[in-house]
Amino acid sequence: MEKRLQGGSLLVATFLMAVMFLPCVAPAEEAEPASPQPRPVIKAAALYMVELKSGRVLLEKNATRRLPPASLTKIMTALVALDAAPLQEVVKIDRRAIVHHSSYNFRSGEEFLLRDLMTAMLVASANDACEAVAWHIGGDDKRFVGMMNERAGKLGLKNTHFANPCGFDAPGHYSTAADLAKLTEQALQQPFFSMMVRTLARDITTVDGARKLSLHSTNELLIDPDVNGVKTGYTNKAGRCLIASMFKDRHRLLLVGLNVQDRWEQATRLLRYGQAVLRADSG
């Protein structure tokens, strides 16, 4: 009997020693969920990505650094024009506005509805259409730029200042990724703006019907059905710039990138990363 107890004690001791050296494994239900994917490398001078409904910032890099915004400037031009005049107003193109020609070759003296010139400005990023809008609304481009800067102040865009309506490189013409996100969120509340920035192609005509122009978007991301805007830009100094909006699973992501490398591929990857994070967090 005594020998059996000693043998049993030895077995128990051996078992306990074995258990002590087993690796500690947490129960499955307590395991920390894996990240949906690694945090991506940002290849841009500045970037800011936010979920608009919650205001949650998902990615940022140099978001308050002042940089040239190229044609992302036209978002402010559109916002000022929408507040200043009705879309059905007839605009006679001022000869002084035809300084920077686009491939659509707007001509001095032609008449278009303001709506159509703004469509050319937002869909095709036509600089001559942009200048025509500015001269019509402001009386001259300098006065219009004053209106742009006044609006920037009212929106609290403390790191933004404009020197022209279209986005050409110039001293004192700058913005930030964070400011541009705030500006774009405001502009997207305007139904006309929201519709135009998700438009792939649109025809416009002069008021007399003598000339028709077929506009095509500069935003290649719009071929993705989840992408619904917003604007592209490029100058030698600014590099390739982009503001992209994606709506999926009740989340609306807004991505602002300044001087972005591999613009289309990287924007797509970053937007999909943001959606994956939000999907994982919502369970």
What are the catalytic residues? Answer: 71, 74, 125
With helix as H, strand as E and coil as C, how does 90-126 read?
Answer: EEECCHHHCCCCCCCCCCCCCEEEHHHHHHHHHHCCC
Q: Are 183 and 160 in contact (CB under 8 A)?
A: yes
- Which amino acid is residue 281, in one-letter code? D
Q: Are 66 and 162 in contact (CB under 8 A)?
A: no
- Beta 111-113 vs 212-216: how paired, if at all? unpaired
